[in-house]
Copies of this chain bind each other. A is one copy, B any other.
Amino acid sequence: MAVDPKLGIYRPAVPAGDLGARVEAFSARCREHGLSVTPQRRAIMRALLASEDHPRAEDVYDAVRAEHPTISLATVHRTLETLCQIGEARKVTPLHHSARYDGNLSPHHHLVCVGCLRVLDVEAPQFDELLGSQKWLGDHEVVGGSVEIYVRCRSCRQQTSD
């Protein structure tokens, strides 16, 4: 999406389709997990899915307040954590700052601009192959992995003398 085509071994990670349907499917999975489907949860999930941008809790809060002016930031934090617990979102925290949340559950990795800390999705099948090629490392059970590629985006390159 925001990434150019000539990526060599990498390729942009494309987010999935219809938003309304995705929120609906989410609601169903909430019930499967024994969680109530509340307007707040729908709204937060919708905002997360709609975002291209790995938003922080506060970003989601701002987005959701348009429709739910009385929602609290604490609820957003709580809900995002809940989403991660039930596998509806993942937490990404590049280079240490506030947590970023990702509604894109397709297997993918991230480009992180070391200047502006923007996070972009990227697929890298060769990495996935390596990551998935071993279920154990000594007595450590492998449960996942992620690759962060640090980059300087065009606009950040222009600002620094270097």
Contact = CB atoms under 8 A, between A and B. Distances in A.
Interface of A: 3-10, 91, 93-96, 99, 111, 113-114, 120, 122, 124, 126-127, 130-131, 133-134, 137-154, 157
The majority secondary structure among interface residues of chain A is mixed
Contacts of A122: 137
Contacts of A114: 143-144
Contact of A140 (B5, B91, B139, B153): B153
Contact of A131 (B149, B152, B153): B149
A138 B3 contact: yes
A143 B154 CA distance: 13
A144 B150 contact: yes
**Pairs A-B, 9 closest by C-beta atoms:** A4-B138, A93-B96, A140-B151, A144-B150, A145-B149, A96-B99, A141-B152, A139-B154, A143-B150
A113 to B, nearest CB: 7
Contacts of A126: 130
Contact of A137 (B7, B137, B145, B146): B7
13 contacts: A3-B137, A4-B138, A5-B138, A8-B133, A91-B95, A93-B95, A113-B140, A114-B143, A120-B140, A141-B152, A145-B150, A146-B150, A148-B148
